[in-house]
Amino acid sequence: MHVVIVGCGRVGSTLARELCALGNTVAVVDRKADAFLRLGDDFAGQTIVGIGFDPDVLMAAGIEKASALAAVTNGDNSNIMIARVGRERFGIERVVARIYDPKRSEIYERLGIATVATVKWTAERIMRRIVPESPAVEWTDPSAELVLVERAVPASWVGVRSPRLGDGPSRVVGVRRYGKAMLSSPDVLLQEGDVAYLAVANANIAALDEFLAKGPVEE
């Protein structure tokens, strides 16, 4: 597929090289020509100097034949403008914008523009290492109504079949054990140290935690 990347910083250049290595065609746009030095001499894609939300620049990058657009400049406003032009003018369905402001990221997710909130994502990952026992949200859908959460399996659930974690307000998706994840199934008996991944409505996270804390109901 053809991918247009706007922004040739560390993220954009890494993304461009990896997409090319997978056999995709890539066009990279940046305001500064010297930014393309990050791509290396062996970069097989196209490079265009220009403003990423300029339709003429995007057309020069092949936006009309593109399957995806990534806006990864160092400015939130620019990335959102680029994403909106790609989505609204050129009809690109796979549009992703890097956003530094977490609140702004949530707003645009609700509008259907996929975002990567760099600051929030990094902070969450650092928190996970500092306080590994803290509740974590792994994924939130664009409407912010459904989330995938990670929860350490309480001692009261040890020895119980993993699907029973979904008897409450959530649905269990999988279990991570000794660093390896597996899908939930009746054959998986929960063990000490297991971590469960559960899909739950955002409004029901507190109810899920209460359900897990109570332990399984005797059958």
Residues 204 and 112 occupy one common structural domain? no
* Nearest partner of 51 among 15, 18, 19, 75, judged by Cα: 75
Query: Burial code of 177-206, b = ≥16 C-beta within 10 A, e = fewer?
Result: beeeeeebeeebebeeebbbbbbbeeebbe
**10 found inside a domain:** yes
Residue-level pLDDT at 179: 84
**110 found inside a domain:** yes
Residue-level pLDDT at 140: 72
Residues 50 and 21 occupy one common structural domain? yes
Residues 115 and 150 occupy one common structural domain? no
Q: Could you say which of 98, 122, 146 is where a domain stops?
A: 122
Residues 115 and 148 occupy one common structural domain? no
Domain range for 90: 2-122
Whole-number Å distance between alpha carbons of 188 and 14: 39
Under a CB-based contact definition with an 8 Å cutoff, are residues 67 and 2 in contact?
A: yes
Residues 112 and 38 occupy one common structural domain? yes
pLDDT in tens, the chain (219 residues): 999 999 999 999 999 999 999 999 999 999 999 999 999 999 999 999 999 999 999 999 999 999 999 999 999 889 999 999 999 999 998 998 888 887 777 777 766 677 777 666 666 666 666 665 566 667 776 566 888 988 989 999 999 999 999 999 999 999 999 889 999 999 999 999 999 999 999 889 999 999 999 999 875
Number of independent structural domains in the chain: 2
Q: What is the CATH number of the domain that holds 90?
A: 3.40.50.720
